[in-house]
Amino acid sequence: MEREPIECRQDFPTRGHCTILSIKDFATFDYLRGKFYKKDESNHQKIVLFLCGATAGLSSLTITTPLEFVRVRLAMEKDIFTYKNNTNAFKTIFER
């Protein structure tokens, strides 16, 4: 089964974590679409395509939100450094 290429939006931000989020999101969507979507115009396949996109978005946010939270916490430290490094910050924050 030949898959259609995914078109990237030209106005999508391409800075740092946004790029990683979009790459992971597109890769997950492409994998799920190849696994479950069969090209026809039935409503069932439209729902399958929607669920592939929703699952890809959910998995992206589930992975990147904790990382973004730790990054912001580290950026907010000014004079008193609570965390030794990224790993220590992640461990300390999520043990509470």
* Predicted model pTM: 0.57
* Segment 31-42, tens digit of pLDDT: 888 888 888 877
Domain ranges within the chain, ordered by starting residue: 16-95
CA distances from 89 to 6, 27, 64 (A): 37, 29, 15
Q: What is the pLDDT of residue 13?
A: 45
> CA 91 → CA 42, 52, 80, 83, 94, distances in Å?
47, 32, 18, 10, 6
pLDDT of 73 reads 86
Tell me which H or E stretch contains 1. Answer: none
- The Cα 21–Cα 76 span in angstroms is 22
What's the Cα-to-Cα distance from 37 to each of 17, 34, 46, rounded to whole Å?
29, 6, 9
Distance CA 75, CA 69 (A): 10
- pLDDT higher for 50 or 7? 50
Is the separation of the CB atoms in 52 and 59 below 8 Å? no
Whether residue 77 has pLDDT greater than 60: yes
Which tens digit of pLDDT belongs to each residue from 9-26? 444 444 444 555 556 567
CA–CA gap between residue 90 and residue 69 (Å, rounded): 9
